[in-house]
Structure 1
Amino acid sequence: MRSSSIQFIALPRRISDASMALFEFDLDPVEEIVPWGSPNDPSLSWFVLTLGQFRMPIGDQVLFRYREEVLRLWESDVQRDAHYQIASIARDILGSVAPGVAPLPPFFELLATDRALLEQLLSVRLEDEAGRELSPDYYTAWRWLGERSPWTGYFVENPEFYFVRIGDRIHIRWDNRSKRVDGTEVWEASYGSYEIPIEAFTSECRDFSDRLLADMHKRISCIETGDFHPQVAVSIDSLREQQESWRCEFDSYFRAERQDIPWEEAESEIRKTAAVCGASLPA
């Protein structure tokens, strides 16, 4: 359920601490994008035409960039940066914006401040012999953090990161040390964190949405004029309708969302978790 109680401040780009955009992408040439569907009915939707490379330069690390060691292991022509439909990545990242910038209740802000404690608690997940989850309830305890963690399950050993607000800054944290193929770490950004002012973070997210929509608008226009040549015929009118649908979807992510699990229920389960592992929690 959505609400419009939080107002996001749209500021000019490049107010962040970084010299590059937080979310960088390069769309593949239209001519190289393989249609989806059956051989008898191939098609290219707006979504499919957003295929490209994506990366997040953060501090001295780059999220979504493969390690050279794993590329050698794969012995393939896989690009150095993650390669997928940028629309899907944008959907999942922008879907975490509203929760990420929302103020945390005092207990949760103190908990988020202590990353070591947070990770200790996150590691506690109790199941019976049949694999059924036991108390404390993991989903109830950590749904709030899941809402701040973009889903990237379409990648092999998908990168894991989250956005959490502490004070007036957004902390971007990642831990990909367990993401391995044949013992080799997959991602260049292994473990770390980065801070950015809330207004700058929101501006970067808006900019990501705006750049993708602008690039796709240009892409559709170039297909219409014959400057780009897709492998199958496409409907320009349909692509423009899809563009507008995606614009509306992206805009919706900048409105506040109601908390899925009540804070008091989450805190109760976290305190049960702390009792199991002997951790000390904020009062």
Structure 2
Amino acid sequence: MLINFNLTPIEEIVPWGQPGSHSLHWFGLTYGEYWIQAGDAALFEYSDHARNAGAKRYCDYQVVRLYEDLMEILPSILEPVPEPLVPYICGEPAKAWQNAYDAWRDRSDDVLDTDYFCEVADAAVAWSGKRRLDSTYLSPSANIAIWSDQEHVHIEWDNRDRHFDGKPAWSAVLGSYQMPRDEFIEEMKSFHVRLMDQMAARVDQVVAGRLPSDIQIDLPGLVREHEQRGRSLDSALRFVPQTDWQQTERAIREILMARGGV
């Protein structure tokens, strides 16, 4: 299974707010642990060093945050990256490109027309940013890219610079994994169904009075939000990005040509 999670028992979830004004909501009720099993590598699994220092085995946070971030980038993940652009998102060449872009950005900031600068910068890197799984809410975060070609979805990670007290924070330091596109879509559907089914049961428990009486919760709003969340996957799968790949290639070429003499 690609996406794995465990919801914390409802009675163990710490409510939001201060004593006397405790509250919970759909987002907060998804608190638990999660990880991505990419072959033999477990992404969002802390290293032995971090765990010996007190970290749990897997990331503990609201599971829906991972779900939201995956749904947000899913349309871009499933938009195939043209072969000439693969080196700008994959492996060591992508790291070299990022360094070149950073150098160009730092030197160009005071030289180019602002509107033109933003246009070139956006065309050059926005597409790859839409294929990176956000985890900036974690400290340290994990560096994970997910993208596809015509046949496969690729998951790549490079956490060599993500440290906990000077040592690697994550068990998965550097690597990649791929699966057929159809299989990846089925994994996204599985994650969606499992999370929504477990949250449906949790919503029923809350409506039935499972939470302590001093925790405020908008019950009608909770039910409405669950119904809305249930439509997230269909919306993500229906949306088809229209990236201007020619503009992207032009912007990258311009930056690479200019980086030595802007």
TM-score computed with the length of structure 2 as normaliser: 0.85
Q: How many residues align?
A: 252
User: Which of 141, 166, 183 is residue 149 of structure 2 equivalent to?
Assistant: 166
State the superposition RMSD in angstroms. 2.6
Does structure 1 residue 151 correspond to structure 2 residue 134?
yes
Report the residue type matching 1:249 in the other structure: S
Change (3 A) 1:214 1:118: same
Matches of 1:23 and 1:180, distance apart in 2: 24
Q: State whether residues 3 and 37 of structure 2, in contact with CA within 8 Å, keep that contact through their aligned partners in structure 1.
A: yes
The equivalent residue for 1:220 is 203
Quick one: distance in 1 between partners of 2:51 and 2:111?
Answer: 37
Q: Would the aligned equivalents of 1:47 and 1:87 in 2 still touch at CA under 8 Å?
A: yes
1:208 corresponds to 2:191: yes
Structure 1 residues 38 and 245, CA gap change in structure 2 (3 angstroms): farther
Distance in 1, matches of 2:108 and 2:252, equals: 23
Compute the displacement of 1:193 (Å).
0.4
Distance 1:153 1:249 in 2: 22
Report 1 or 2 for greater relative contact order, CA contacts < 8 Å, sequence distance ≥ 6.
1
Find the counterpart in structure 2 of residue 271 from structure 1.
253
Letter in 1 for 2:50: V
2:65 is equivalent to residue 85 of structure 1: no
Aligned 1:47-126 pairs, distance under 5 A: 47-73=27-53, 76=54, 78-109=55-86, 111=87, 115-124=91-100, 125-126=102-103
Structure 1 residue 79: deviation in Å?
Answer: 1.7
Secondary structure of 2:237's partner?
Answer: coil
The Cα shift of 1:190 comes to 0.6
Is the 1:112–1:164 contact (alpha carbons within 8 Å) kept by the matching residues of 2?
A: no
Classify 1:192/1:183 alpha carbon distance in 2 versus 1 (closer, same or farther; 3 Å).
same
CA offset at residue 23 of structure 1? Answer: 0.3
Amino acid at match of 1:116: E
**Aligned pair in 2 of structure 1 residues 168, 268: CA closer, same or farther (>3 Å)?**
same
Q: Structure 1, unaligned stretches of length 5 or more? A: 1-20, 279-283
Match of 1:35 in 2: 15
CA displacement at 1:130 relative to structure 2: 11
Paired residue type of 1:119: K
- Alignment gaps of 5+ in structure 2: none
- What is the one-letter code of the residue matched to 2:22? P
The answer to which structure has the higher helix fraction is 2
Give the Å deviation of 1:224: 3.5
Of all paired residues, the percent bearing the same amino acid is 28
Is 2:22–2:216's contact at 8 Å kept on the other side of the alignment? no
Give the drift of 1:113: 8.5
TM-score normalised by L of structure 1:
0.79
Q: What CA distance in whole angstroms lies between the structure 2 residues aligned with 1:214 and 1:236?
A: 18
